[in-house]
Amino acid sequence: GIQVEQSPPDLILQEGANSTLRCNFSDSVNNLQWFHQNPWGQLINLFYIPSGTKQNGRLSATTVATERYSLLYISSSQTTDSGVYFCAVGDTGRRALTFGSGTRLQVQP
Amino acid sequence: GAVVSQHPSWVICKSGTSVKIECRSLDFQATTMFWYRQFPKQSLMLMATSNEGSKATYEQGVEKDKFLINHASLTLSTLTVTSAHPEDSSFYICSATSGLDTDTQYFGPGTRLTVL
């Protein structure tokens, strides 16, 4: 099946800093989503972005499907951004998502 | 919109007992629901896919007789962990897609199962 790798595995930032999270995938995808899992375990949809660029407030994401990677940008980070960020992909014919191992982000005040 | 709920949010049970977890789509009809399992500090792993009115499709290595999935209506799917053992202790998360938007998955808040 498709492989999804995320980097870095862990990231510690000071409040106000910017960061870039990366997701590499091993095959063509028709679905790519970024999620934030908060400390209580709830997964929150950030972006549905199988290709192109999207922005939502301090967050933006870019997927370059031909090169099989996606980037999540967090600007002016806040302590509430802490948690685990997952990239998940779906390929043709399989609607279930395959998750990467996640990036654990800690934003310190 | 697109809210998915799970019940219970946490459960503790004795080894050998069965536990039922409910997953509901509150404001849309979920043609497909997915069940994932997440062990501490690990990623989500798909257990099974269920479509309303049909049998669930299980991932390789997931025992279908142990993890019973029922998707009897367009708003409700249940996962029953039968004869639970301590190694079944995990965080179980469901997600759902609607017939109108089959690409975006909406996740429930999860159920934390502890088997003593």
B46 and A40 within 8 Å at the Cβ level: the answer is: no
What average pLDDT score do residues A58-86 get?
A: 97
Structure confidence at residue B97 (pLDDT): 87
Nearest CA in chain B to A43: B107
Structure confidence at residue B31 (pLDDT): 85
Beta sheet of A4-7, edge-to-edge order: A4-7, A19-25, A69-74, A59-64, A52-56
DSSP letters spanning B23-57: EEESSS-EEEEEEEEE-TTS-EEEEEEEETTS--E
What confidence category does residue B1 fall into, taking pLDDT thresholds of 50, 70 and 90? low
Is the model's pLDDT at B102 over the cut of 80? no
Is the model's pLDDT at B7 over the cut of 90? yes
User: ∠ at Cα B63 (B57, B68), nearest 5°?
Assistant: 65
What confidence category does residue A77 fall into, taking pLDDT thresholds of 50, 70 and 90? very high
Is the model's pLDDT at A105 over the cut of 80? yes
Which of B43, B104, B109 is facing A45, going by the closest CB pair? B104
Q: What is the pLDDT of residues B30-81, one digit of tens each?
A: 888 999 999 998 999 999 999 888 889 999 999 999 999 998 888 999 999 9
Structure confidence at residue A96 (pLDDT): 85
A99 and B45 within 8 Å at the Cβ level: the answer is: yes
Structure confidence at residue B21 (pLDDT): 97
Cβ distance A98 to A89 under 8 Å?
yes
3-class state of residue B4 by DSSP: strand
User: What count of CB pairs under 8 Å joins A to B?
Assistant: 52
Query: For A36-50, A92-106, B97-111, which range has the lowest pLDDT when averaged over its residues?
Result: B97-111
Write out chain A residues lying below 8 Å of B93, CB-based.
Answer: 41, 43
Q: What is the pLDDT of residues A18-50, one digit of tens each?
A: 999 999 999 999 899 999 999 889 999 999 999
What average pLDDT score do residues A79-105 get?
A: 90
CB atoms within 10 A of CB B54: 8
Structure confidence at residue B54 (pLDDT): 84
Cβ distance A29 to B93 under 8 Å?
no
Tokens 């019940």 appear where? B7
Which of A96, A100, A101 is facing B34, going by the closest CB pair? A96
Residue in A47, A95, A103 to test binding to B, most B beta-carbons within 10 Å? A95
Which of B34, B43, B106 is facing A86, going by the closest CB pair? B43
**Buried b or exposed e, range A19-40, using 16+ CB within 10 angstroms:** bebebebeeebebbbbbbbeee
B43 and A40 within 8 Å at the Cβ level: the answer is: no
A30 and B103 within 8 Å at the Cβ level: the answer is: yes
Nearest CA in chain B to A104: B41
> Is the CA virtual torsion B73, A90, A12, A74 positive or negative?
negative
Structure confidence at residue A43 (pLDDT): 92
